[in-house]
Amino acid sequence: HSSNNTLDGLNGFDGTDTHYFHGGPRGHHWMWDSRLFNYGSWEVLRFLLSNARWWLEEYKFDGFRFDGVTSMMYTHHGLQMTFTGNYGEYFGFATDVDAVVYLMLVNDLIHGLYPDAVSIG
């Protein structure tokens, strides 16, 4: 997720609120007052993956901690949900497949560049 602000964040970067984010209610996290990336957009993937690589190479990061993974992986963001262990709850119609693919891609990038790097979600 990203800042909802237009002055210090990506929201409104190109004059719209949908360049990097989902439009409408899907693009807003109501509990965190933040914007939600559209992981199905090639531009978003390029931006986020190049950011990860930049931090690894420029600042020699040895890993990443991905915060709010449940919020990324599910359209309900895991809010007001109880996971009982039923497989259908974890990978069903509420799964944001594009976000899961992004997590796979960024992990592949991190460990492809630096096999000993750590990624935590």
Whether residue 111 is found in the same domain as residue 83: yes
Whether residue 14 is found in the same domain as residue 54: no
Whether residue 44 is found in the same domain as residue 33: no
**Count: domains in the chain:** 2
Q: Which long-range contacts (CB under 8 A, 24 or more apart) does 56-64 make?
A: 56/110, 56/113, 56/114, 56/117, 57/113, 61/117, 62/114, 62/116, 62/117, 62/118, 63/110, 63/117, 63/118, 63/119, 63/120, 64/106, 64/110, 64/117, 64/118, 64/119, 64/120
Q: What percent of the chain has pLDDT over 90?
A: 74
Whether residue 78 is found in the same domain as residue 21: no
Q: Please, which pLDDT band fits residue 12 given cuts at 50, 70 and 90?
A: confident
Structural domain including 3 reads 1-37
Least confident of 7-16, 22-31, 44-53, 57-66: 7-16
Whether residue 71 is found in the same domain as residue 101: yes
Q: Give mean pLDDT, residues 28-54.
A: 96
Q: Is a pLDDT exceeding 80 seen at residue 8?
A: no
